[in-house]
Amino acid sequence: MGRKIIAVVVGYIAMALLLFITFTVLYLILGTEGSFKPGSFEVSTIWVICSIIVSFGAAMLGGYVCALIAKNKKTAMILAGLVFVFGIAFAIPELTSPADIANKVRPAELSNTEAMQQAKQPTFTLILNPIIGAFGIFMGARLRKDEEPV
């Protein structure tokens, strides 16, 4: 049981670290103007496309790491369920809050921290992210080969 809990926690941490590093690098590459639509806090189309790809890759890593540590693929389904539930739980406030940020004018340059706090994702990505996360974890867990019985 302890191995499974550690596997889920480490899988989640692996995903979070990869996402943080990759999104930081992506923001440095694209810059403020490439990451957002002109003059607004709405993320650009290229950012949405990259975030879908990066999120799927990070989820696959998390699923693989979880299955590797747990020594079975089924434990990764616990991680997938948690990511799905957390994703929906974090999306609900965004989906139900007023769109006051849409009227804010974005300055030409933002720090990475400011960008993370102010960015406005399209509604479909708020719903799609938990699905991508759960599916990516499932696919990543499948990459782990079962050990041959001796």
Q: What is 7-39 written as a DSSP string? A: HHHHHHHHHHHHHHHHHHHHHHHHHHHHHB-TT
Is there a domain that residue 85 lies in? yes
Say what the pTM is: 0.85
Number of domains in the chain: 1
Q: Is residue 150 part of a domain?
A: no
Query: Could you give the angle at the alpha carbon of 3 between the alpha carbons of 90 and 69, nearest 5°?
Result: 80
Coil vs helix vs strand at 42: strand
100 domain residue, yes or no: yes
pLDDT over 90 at 6, yes or no? yes
More confident residue, 149 or 96: 96
Q: pLDDT at position 148, please?
A: 47
Q: Do the domain assignments include residue 148?
A: no
Task: Label residue 150 by pLDDT band (50, 70, 90).
Answer: very low
* Average pLDDT estimate for 10-31: 94
Domain membership of residue 149 (yes or no) is no
